[in-house]
């Protein structure tokens, strides 16, 4: 019986192919973020309840995705911990927001700001582990962090402004996730 020695490049390619099979999950998350962002921009003054439910749904979907992504093969321990922690926090914040425990817009704004900060730092740390195309991840991470700080510094901004800021960040984040999904699909096919 003979064994085949797999070098590091064989393992990298098989890991990429395994992750690439699930590129549709990233595409779904990106499309969800994009749709929620567009809806937030379209209805800035009609109702905060709709916006709060959409944002809570985004936090829940994003949190579940990050938790599952944290269990992917080939990630460092630090990246796993960051994805798992940010996913759990995003999931908890989404459930709290949708359940109506705290109705204050300022508290919801703080939750959104924290979620954006964790997402932004997750993108930045993820970019540090990527081998190519890190510029887009770094740019998206910086945008998310800026958005998080803006919301945290001015939590009492008007609902319309909050809807616009949130909608813009969701659209930008969604577009990056959509492009990332197709990039992942392409890399997986070439592996």
Q: What is the pLDDT of residues 173-187, one digit of tens each?
A: 899 989 888 888 887
Residue 73 C-beta-side C-alpha neighbours within 13 Å: 11
Q: Is the distance from CB of 70 to CB of 122 less than 8 angstroms?
A: no
Three-state DSSP class for residue 74:
coil
Q: Is the distance from CB of 170 to CB of 33 less than 8 angstroms?
A: yes
CA distance 117 to 1: 53
As given in the structure block, the two tokens for residue 188 are 């997986």
The CA-CA-CA angle for residues 91, 163, 139, to 5°, reads: 70
Q: Check residue 7 and give its pLDDT.
A: 47
pLDDT band at 24, cuts 50/70/90?
confident
CB-CB neighbours of 40 under 10 Å: 24
As given in the structure block, the two tokens for residue 153 are 């510094």
Q: To the nearest 10°, report the CA torsion of 71, 172, 94, 182.
A: -30
Which residue, 175, 171, 151, 147, is CA-closest to 40? 171
Predicted confidence (pLDDT) per residue in 51-99, tens digit: 667 777 888 888 898 888 888 777 787 878 888 888 898 888 788 777 7
CA distance 58 to 93: 10
Rounded to an integer, the average pLDDT of 140-147 is: 88
As given in the structure block, the two tokens for residue 127 are 């970019």
pTM for this model (two decimals):
0.44
The proportion of the chain whose per-residue pLDDT surpasses 90, expressed as a percent, equals 5
As given in the structure block, the two tokens for residue 45 are 């003054």
Give the residue carrying structure tokens 């599952």. Answer: 68
When mean pLDDT is compared across 28-37, 149-158, 180-189, the lowest value belongs to: 149-158
What average pLDDT does the structure give for the chain?
77
Give the residue carrying structure tokens 């901004």. Answer: 157
- Residue of higher predicted confidence among 117 and 20: 117
Q: Check residue 42 and give its pLDDT.
A: 83
* pLDDT at 149 > cutoff 80: yes
Q: Check residue 56 and give its pLDDT.
A: 77
């Amino acid at each position: 019986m003979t064994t085949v020695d797999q070098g590091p490049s064989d393992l990298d390619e098989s890991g990429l192919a395994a992750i690439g099979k699930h590129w549709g999950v990233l595409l779904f998350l990106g499309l969800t973020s994009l749709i929620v962002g567009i809806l937030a921009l379209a209805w800035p003054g009609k109702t905060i309840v709709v916006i709060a439910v959409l944002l809570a749904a985004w936090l829940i979907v994003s949190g579940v995705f990050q938790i599952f992504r944290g269990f992917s093969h080939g990630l460092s321990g630090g990246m796993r911990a960051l994805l798992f922690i940010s996913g759990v926090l995003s999931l908890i914040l989404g459930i709290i927001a949708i359940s109506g425990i705290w109705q204050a817009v300022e508290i919801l704004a703080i939750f959104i700001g924290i979620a954006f900060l964790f997402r932004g730092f997750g993108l930045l740390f993820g970019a540090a582990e990527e081998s190519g195309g890190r510029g887009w991840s770094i740019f998206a991470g910086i945008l998310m962090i800026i958005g998080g700080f803006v919301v945290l510094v001015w939590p009492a901004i008007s609902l319309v402004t909050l809807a616009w800021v949130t909608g813009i960040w969701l659209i930008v984040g969604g577009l990056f996730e959509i492009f990332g999904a197709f990039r992942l699909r392409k890399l997986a096919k070439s592996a």
